[in-house]
Amino acid sequence: MLVDAVVELLRPAAARWIVDCTAGSGGHAEALLAAAPLQTSLVAIDCDSENLCTVKRRLEPLTGRPGRLRCFPCNFACIRDVLAQVGAPSVDTLLADLGLCSSQLDDASRGFTFTVDGPLDMRMDRPSDLPTASELVNRLPESELADLLYQHADERHSRRIAHAIVLSRRQKRIERTVELAEIVSRALGGRRGAKIHPATRTFMALRIAVNDELRNLDELLAALPDVLAVGGRAAIISFHSHEDRRVKQAFLSMKSAGLGKIITPKPVVADDEEIKANPRSRSAKLRCIERV
């Protein structure tokens, strides 16, 4: 997603260390590695160990030398620890794509989508002891559930949805994605409109809460002044207003402190051709900053 813009903005040809904080299936990492010289090393981070297996299979044949690719199964909030392990005091190129990869969305067993039925899981790191989405919708008090939907996804009908969930779980535990989507849809009287299913924001809010995504993003953003080398660049692709607002404010704070130069005064977005090929890119916003 926005691969050409990522490579152009991040200038991997001049990098000694590249960090892909959200390696996913390896698409961005492959493009960055291909544009970098042989001496450049790439660090791939992903909290989904299945993704990292895909990255290794995809990229190791292309690295050209042993040790050029290092993979770490953790959250990007741990970036300082990761860099300490590889012996990199700072990095020249850093990317974080905050969206889910296609393999996660298309796997019904992950529970991220209601387009196919599956268990209400939503954990990006499935072996973890994080609470699942099912645990949240069945355990949280009605007021806390409503606050979660509003604060994480700007769901205007959060109280109505939370009340409907509580009434439903009194009858039976809510365990499946389609089951939850139908509860939300009934609570809102059917579809909002052609562009968005009534359960979209509910699912987004639960996924963010399950994986503590906003706190982890805040930790990554706070680390940028320390982990970026002078002249190094960081690019972050966000997909909803809560993420983009945090990225924008963090970049402005770096600029105000004399630590950063904003490369993208306005976010880069997908063109019509990319949106047609990949409809998920329609909400992507890419921002880039350079450490000074």
CATH number at residue 229: 3.40.50.150
Amino acid at 270: A
**Within a domain: residue 68?**
yes
Residue ranges with strand state E in the chain: 17-20, 41-45, 69-72, 91-97, 228-238, 260-262, 285-291
From 178, 193, 211, give the residue that closes a domain: 211
Q: How many domains does the chain have?
A: 2
Sequence-distant (6+) residues with CB within 8 A of 249 are none
Q: Quick one: 199 and 260 in the same domain?
A: no
**Within a domain: residue 123?**
no
**Within a domain: residue 71?**
yes
HEC assignment per residue over 138-166: HHCCHHHHHHHHHHHHCCCCHHHHHHHHH
Q: Quick one: 148 and 7 in the same domain?
A: no
pTM here?
Answer: 0.94
From 211, 226, 249, give the residue that closes a domain: 211
Q: Quick one: 7 and 98 in the same domain?
A: yes
| Per-residue tokens: 168 | 């439903």
Query: Which domain range does residue 180 map to?
Result: 131-211
| SS3 state of residue 132 | coil
**Within a domain: residue 119?**
no
CATH number at residue 156: 1.10.150.170
**Within a domain: residue 142?**
yes
**Tens place of pLDDT per residue across the chain (292 aa):** 899 999 999 999 999 999 999 999 999 999 999 999 999 999 999 999 899 999 999 999 999 999 999 999 999 999 999 999 999 999 999 999 999 888 888 899 999 999 999 999 999 987 678 899 999 999 999 999 999 999 999 999 999 999 999 999 999 999 999 999 999 999 998 765 547 899 999 999 999 999 999 999 999 999 999 999 999 999 999 999 999 999 999 999 999 999 999 999 999 999 999 999 988 899 999 999 999 9
Q: Quick one: 33 and 86 in the same domain?
A: yes
From 188, 211, 234, give the residue that closes a domain: 211
Q: Quick one: 257 and 275 in the same domain?
A: yes
